[in-house]
Amino acid sequence: MSPRHLLQNLPPHTLRLHGPRQDPSDLAQATVNVSLARACRISGFLAQLSANFQGTKMQRSAIGDCVDLMLSSVDELSKTLSEL
């Protein structure tokens, strides 16, 4: 993806909060931050869903797998951000 494409697809509030990004490193950090925030929100939603879900054993297992995968994604994005 080109830097222009990434800038066009960042949420508008990201640029307002941090100003326009010119440096590729800043752009990478901004995009990973956005991805991390979204992954955290989804992870929290899935964890709450999992705690309250009354479906079949297979359905509960599938949701549990999704929670595990999202937590792993959050961990990986956090590591990526710390390396940038």
Rounded CA gap, 57 and 47, in Å? 16
Per-residue model confidence (pLDDT) at position 71: 94
Per-residue model confidence (pLDDT) at position 34: 85
How confident is the prediction along the chain (84 residues), in pLDDT tens digits per residue?
555 655 566 666 555 545 555 677 777 888 888 889 999 999 999 999 999 999 999 999 999 999 999 999 999 999 999 998
Per-residue model confidence (pLDDT) at position 28: 81
Per-residue model confidence (pLDDT) at position 23: 72
Distances from the Cα of 73 to the Cα of 17, 25, 44, 65, 83, angstroms? 25, 21, 13, 12, 15
